[in-house]
Amino acid sequence: MSSDFYTSSILPHAAIIIKICRAYTNTEEDFEDYYQEVCLQIWKSRDNFQEQSEWSTWVFRLSLNVSLSLLKKKKNNHQHFASDYSPVELPEERTDNTDDSFKQLYNAIRKLSEVDRGVILLYLEEKSYQEIADIMGTNPNNIGVRIKRIKERLKKILDGKIN
**What residues make contact with other proteins under the rule CB under 8 A?**
1, 6, 11, 14-15, 18-19, 22, 31-33, 35-37, 39-41, 43-45, 48-49, 58, 61-62, 64-66, 68-70, 72-73, 75-76, 90, 94-99, 101-103, 105-106, 113-115, 118-119, 124, 134-139, 141-142, 145-146, 149, 151, 154-155
Nearest distance, CB of residue 87 and other proteins, angstroms: 18
Nearest distance, CB of residue 40 and other proteins, angstroms: 6
Distance CA 69, CA 54 (A): 23
Least Cα distance to 113 among 74, 145, 83, 71 occurs for 71
Q: Which long-range contacts (CB under 8 A, 24 or more apart) does 100-107 make?
A: 104/158, 105/154, 105/158, 106/22, 106/23
In this complex, which beta carbon is closest to other proteins, that of residue 8 or of residue 36? 36
How would you class 120 by CB atoms within 10 Å of its CB: exposed for 0-12, middle for 13-18, buried for 19 or more?
A: buried
In this complex, which beta carbon is closest to other proteins, that of residue 83 or of residue 138? 138
Nearest distance, CB of residue 162 and other proteins, angstroms: 16
CA distances from 117 to 1, 19, 60 (A): 29, 11, 13
Nearest distance, CB of residue 121 and other proteins, angstroms: 9
In this complex, which beta carbon is closest to other proteins, that of residue 137 or of residue 160? 137
